[in-house]
């Protein structure tokens, strides 16, 4: 069933869809009155609806049934990712949505390599998340809190029972063996560096703050590959 995103959760049984999503429904998917479509909001509520009326710029739909998100299977974890260049960051957003990452925290790190962070970043990122959600069937959007610098994140997440840092370094445990050595944590955080990796200062600071260094194998992965490997492995380990 075609899926469209609802900016505002509906009150009552009828919905008026406008803006970009209405345009997509009317002019790209060419949906007609009588057709069924699924709508979802950012919290992951889904609505099975029937299209009642289509005008040039808006669509009127009636809700037939509603489902709340099933979050029971989820492990609560956050990926802290050093900001990346636009192309890699956008790819990461799309793939992380598909793989079910709950939260992505953008971090300014010492070796930040051209990832520009502006007032409009979140709006642009949200469009990528919505488009990925429509394609992959996931409804709840990944949370992306405002960007923080590395030291702030380290300080404000001291209470997390388990924090890991993916690091290219011989002799450190693999992500898998580290997870296997711990109880399933109520909250988990994983740091992945930007293109230039973490600075020595950041690695030392992380170690002092009880962050465990973990390896993803002996190849040096691009930052976005490393991030996706972390997500896929955590999903496989806890949620499959």
Residues making contact with ligand SAH (CB under 6 A)? 166-168, 192-193, 196-198, 215-217, 219-221, 223, 226
Whole-angstrom distance, CA of residue 44 vs CA of residue 40: 6
List Cβ neighbours of 122 (8 Å cut-off, separation of 6 or more): 144, 146
User: CB of residue 240 vs ligand SAH: minimum separation in angstroms?
Assistant: 21
Q: How far is the CB of 229 from ligand SAH (least distance, A)?
A: 8
The 10 Å CB-count burial string (b at 16+, else e) for 102-119 is bebbbbbbbebbebeeee
| C-beta closer to ligand SAH: residue 10 or 193 | 193
Nearer to ligand SAH, 22 or 99 (CB): 99
Report the nearest approach of ligand SAH to the CB of residue 199 (Å): 10
Nearer to ligand SAH, 129 or 226 (CB): 226
Q: Say which residues have a Cβ less than 8 Å from residue 115's Cβ, sequence separation at least 6.
A: 82, 83, 84, 85, 86, 89, 106, 194
Give the nearer residue to ligand SAH in terms of CB position, either 35 or 233. Answer: 233
In whole angstroms, how close is the CB of 226 to ligand SAH at the nearest point?
3
The whole-angstrom separation of Cα 94 and Cα 9 is: 23
Give the shortest CB-1-to-ligand SAH separation in angstroms: 38
Nearer to ligand SAH by Cβ, of 31 and 213: the residue is: 213
Residues 6+ apart with CB under 8 A from 180: none
195: closest CA among 94, 81, 97, 27? 81
Q: What is the DSSP string of 173-216?
A: PBHHHHHHTSPPPSSEEEEE--TT---HHHHHHHHHTTPEEEB-
- As measured in angstroms, the least distance from the Cβ of 106 to ligand SAH is 14
Closer by beta carbon to ligand SAH, 92 or else 223: 223
**What is the number of the residue whose Cβ is closest to ligand SAH?**
193
């Amino acid at each position: 069933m075609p899926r469209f995103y609802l900016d505002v959760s509906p009150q009552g049984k009828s919905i008026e869809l406008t803006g970009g999503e209405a345009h997509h429904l009317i002019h790209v998917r060419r949906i007609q009155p009588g057709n069924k479509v699924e709508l979802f909001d950012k919290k992951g509520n889904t609505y099975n609806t029937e299209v009642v009326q289509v005008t040039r710029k808006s669509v009127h739909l009636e809700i037939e049934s509603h489902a709340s998100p099933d979050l029971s299977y989820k492990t609560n974890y956050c990926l802290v990712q050093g900001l990346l260049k636009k192309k890699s960051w956008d790819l990461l957003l799309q793939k992380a949505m598909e793989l079910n990452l709950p939260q992505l925290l953008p971090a300014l790190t010492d070796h930040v390599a051209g990832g520009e962070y502006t007032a409009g970043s979140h709006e642009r990122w949200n469009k990528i998340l919505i488009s990925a959600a429509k394609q992959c069937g996931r409804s709840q959007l990944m949370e992306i809190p405002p960007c923080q610098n590395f030291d702030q994140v380290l300080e404000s997440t001291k209470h997390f029972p388990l924090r890991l840092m993916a690091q290219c370094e011989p002799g450190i445990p693999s992500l898998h063996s580290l997870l296997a050595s711990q109880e399933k944590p109520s909250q988990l955080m994983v740091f992945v560096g930007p293109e230039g990796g973490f600075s020595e200062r950041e690695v030392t600071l992380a170690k002092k703050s009880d962050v465990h260094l973990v390896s993803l194998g002996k190849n040096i992965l691009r930052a976005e590959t490393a991030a996706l490997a972390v997500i896929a492995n955590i999903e496989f380990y806890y949620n499959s």
